[in-house]
Structure 1
Amino acid sequence: MSADPIVFVAAVRTAIGSFNGALSALPAHELGAAVIREALRRAGLGPDEVSEVVLGQVLTAGAGQNPARQASVGAGIPYSVPAWSCQMICGSGLKAVCLGAQSIMTGDSSIVVAGGMESMSKAPHAIHMRAGVKMGEASLQDTIIHDGLTDAFYQYHMGITGPVEVKTDEFPRHGSNLEAMAKLKPCFLTDGTGTVTAANASGLNDGAAAVILMKKSEAARRGLMPMARIVSWAQTGIDPSIMGVGPISAVKKAIEKAGWTLDQVDLFEINEAFASLSIAIARELKVNPEKINAQGGAIALGHPLGASGCRILVTLLHALERTGGKRGVAALCIGGGMGIAMCIER
């Protein structure tokens, strides 16, 4: 572990909006700007003190050039501060944090705002018309499905594997109950073997999350109390057809790099794309299920793709603070067959 580790001095998220819900009128960069402004306010930092901004976003079709730059400028950060977008499907928000930490470690930056944003409601339908349609029909593609939820290798849905103030999450649907959810039909396999339904899968959502990173010495110089420090992170690859279990190898690798054992971790935030994945991961890692997503996972809260990696980290940071826990792990499965995980410590 570094003698001068990278620490978090602020961690925020928006409320999570349902598809075409309360946040649907706002483009992703406006959601990103909102969390940047709030993170800076909580840390007591001015926009001109930021060195770099890194934000993840998955569905960028129609969003304009470099949405992270749009969010940065929209938050009042000076033009002189670089900002850039990253894309690692569901891992984008956490990967942005890793990249921000690397920038500080190499000396390129001293204070980094990192996180993710997504407006799935704003994702357009698209059609390739550069050469026109010579014969037959052409169909619009839903970019949510094509760019966000369809495996690029096997070509199937991953499930088979204005001033606006919103104070509460819109997910899950109001009035949901076990009896109604039990009657829902499987979404993907309809031959009687399917188990994934709308009730045990994450939804289509809008939202953003951000953290502020700096070295521990920089926080001390500024009189800021760190929420936690980054101990390690890891990324791994697996067969795309079983992408949902990607967190297993990523968590194991991150834990090994941290020099921990799994039973030393107080809380896990593992993105809950589907309930079956959370169960499989808990069993394979032999982790007490009560330690996983104790604050509610993506099925309960929602899954705004590019924001989720940072959202689970924000949840983990505040959960450790509330419960007095010391060590936590955030992890996600990633379309295309990958996993990402980060170990943090208070």
Structure 2
Amino acid sequence: MREAVYIIAAQRTPIGSFLGTLTHHTACDLGEIVTQAALKAAQIDPELIDSVIVGNVLSATAGMGIARQIALNSGLPEATTAHTLNMICGSGMKAVTDAYAAIKAGDADIILAIGTESMSNAGFILDSSSRHRHKIGELGLKDEIQLNGLTDAFHHIPMGKTAENLAEKYNISREEQDDYALSSQKKAALAQQSNCFQAEIIPIQLENGNIFQQDEHIRANIDRTALARLHPLFKKDGTVTAGNSSGINDGAAALLIAGENAVKRHHLTPLAEIIGYGQGGVAPEEMGLGVIPAIAQALERAETTLNQITQFELNEAFAAQIIAAQYELSEQHEIDLEEITAKTNLYGGAIALGHPLACSGTRILTTLTHTLPSNHIGLASLCIGGGMGIATVIRKIT
């Protein structure tokens, strides 16, 4: 029997607003902060880390080998290997599931999985044609955020248009989306006020001496009237607005993953066991439904069912997207929709907290790890641009 795989530590930065408090921290800087915090939380010798896997999307200006930069700058030995992967919004969670798979296969004992993104530091880039065709005249720049993070490569439409597609398909009204967004904001604000994120967030000392220790994208005072005033962004007479969409943000999260033998040998204390993960693909123009096949595969591999899940962390790319996904989960798994809704994003989601692309997968797993009741099963999942999804199932350790 293959050994069990555990989450030993899970730490994250506060999530920064676009061009906000974390503007002067690169993706590498943020990755180093969470690496050092995870190692400290696990009380582990850095020499024991076999590898570092980093999820990152906007890397054009980050320099060679983000993962390697993070590993060595965090004090890990030169012998520690590191690599970077890009599965767009699923990148951080993919780092975790790749770590899980490597340990299950016997290729490693302990791996550090990181998701890091500085959208504030994303660059502007030239089209590739400029390298070999342009001889005279002005050159236009492309925004790396829009090109590589927010635009579908197949239909050349913004991610928000895919949310409009789902709103139309499932007849999801503007009011329903705004109500969902308001709920996310209120839950996140309450969680922040109640210090629910205290165990997972690493305070960051800024250059001016101030301490940054709370997510800054939350709009605690937002109300229904303010949301209703916002104009649709992606379609004339549409329903998707900035208020019912996730934010553009900065942040990082790291999870230390270890196999059962390493846990026993090095006297590590697990927080949770990873019991299954899944991936899936759907039509790119309906990318928000990618969570559906991913969750189905994760549940099958975990040998559990949706009604056995105590808590869901589902990334809120858009309110329309998550409402549609919850509807499909209810239909396909024959569970009351209200039951799924009541178990989802208890502490708010990306609409309120923000969505630093590659960070989000590790962020929701970090939150789930810290907030899931002992001996209960939780599920985290994200939709992915291009029409994919990824999901992970964990069991909290007493």
Question: What do residues 50-86 of structure 1 show as CA deviations (whole Å, max 9, x unaligned)?
Answer: 1100010000011111111111111111111001101
SS in structure 1 of the partner of residue 212 of structure 2: coil
Q: Which residue does the alignment assign to 1:266?
A: 310
Q: Which residue does the alignment assign to 2:134?
A: 133
1:338 aligns with 2:382: no
Q: Which 10-residue stretch deviates more, 137-146 or 240-249? A: 137-146
Which structure's residues are more often helix, by fraction?
2
Counterpart contact for 1:15–1:207, Cα < 8 Å: yes
Specify the code of the residue in structure 1 equivalent to 2:289: V
- CA RMSD, 1 decimal: 1.6
Counterpart contact for 2:2–2:104, Cα < 8 Å: no
Specify the code of the residue in structure 1 equivalent to 2:248: L
Q: Which residue does the alignment assign to 1:46?
A: 45
Q: Which residue does the alignment assign to 1:294?
A: 346
Q: CA deviation at 1:132?
A: 5.7
Q: CA deviation at 1:109?
A: 1.5
Specify the code of the residue in structure 2 equivalent to 1:299: I
Q: Which residue does the alignment assign to 1:237?
A: 281
How many residues in Structure 1 have an aligned counterpart in Structure 2? Answer: 341
Specify the code of the residue in structure 2 equivalent to 1:341: A
Counterpart contact for 1:104–1:215, Cα < 8 Å: yes
Cα distance between partner residues in 2 of 1:72 and 1:279 = 39
Q: Which 10-residue stretch deviates more, 143-152 or 282-291? A: 282-291
1:135-284 maps to which residues of 2 (within 5 A)? 137-161=138-162, 163-164=205-206, 165-173=211-219, 175-190=221-236, 192=237, 194-284=238-328
Cα distance between partner residues in 2 of 1:22 and 1:327 = 35
Q: Which residue does the alignment assign to 1:305?
A: 357
Q: Which residue does the alignment assign to 2:31?
A: 32
Cα distance between partner residues in 2 of 1:5 and 1:40 = 21
Q: CA deviation at 1:178?
A: 2.3
Q: Which residue does the alignment assign to 1:7?
A: 6
SS in structure 1 of the partner of residue 391 of structure 2: strand
Counterpart contact for 2:150–2:158, Cα < 8 Å: yes
Counterpart contact for 2:3–2:104, Cα < 8 Å: no
TM-score by length of 1: 0.95
Cα distance between partner residues in 2 of 1:156 and 1:137 = 26
Counterpart contact for 1:295–1:319, Cα < 8 Å: no
SS in structure 2 of the partner of residue 180 of structure 1: helix
SS in structure 2 of the partner of residue 126 of structure 1: strand
List runs of 5+ in structure 1 lacking aligned partners: none
TM-score by length of 2: 0.83
List runs of 5+ in structure 2 lacking aligned partners: 163-203, 331-336
| Residues 158, 6 of structure 1: alpha-carbon distance in 2 compared, 3 angstrom cutoff | same
Q: Which residue does the alignment assign to 2:67?
A: 68
Counterpart contact for 2:55–2:358, Cα < 8 Å: yes
| Residues 36, 308 of structure 1: alpha-carbon distance in 2 compared, 3 angstrom cutoff | same
Cα distance between partner residues in 2 of 1:124 and 1:78 = 31
Q: CA deviation at 1:136?
A: 6.4
1:313-332 maps to which residues of 2 (within 5 A)? 313-320=365-372, 323-324=373-374, 326-332=376-382
Specify the code of the residue in structure 1 equivalent to 2:3: D
The alignment-based identity, stated in percent, is 45
Specify the code of the residue in structure 2 equivalent to 1:284: E
SS in structure 1 of the partner of residue 313 of structure 2: strand
SS in structure 1 of the partner of residue 88 of structure 2: coil
Specify the code of the residue in structure 1 equivalent to 2:320: S
Specify the code of the residue in structure 2 equivalent to 1:336: G
Q: CA deviation at 1:240?
A: 0.6
Question: What do residues 200-255 of structure 1 show as CA deviations (whole Å, max 9, x unaligned)?
Answer: 10011000001011112321333322111111111111111100110011111111
Cα distance between partner residues in 2 of 1:7 and 1:228 = 6
Q: CA deviation at 1:175?
A: 4.1
Cα distance between partner residues in 1 of 2:246 and 2:89 = 12
SS in structure 2 of the partner of residue 328 of structure 1: strand
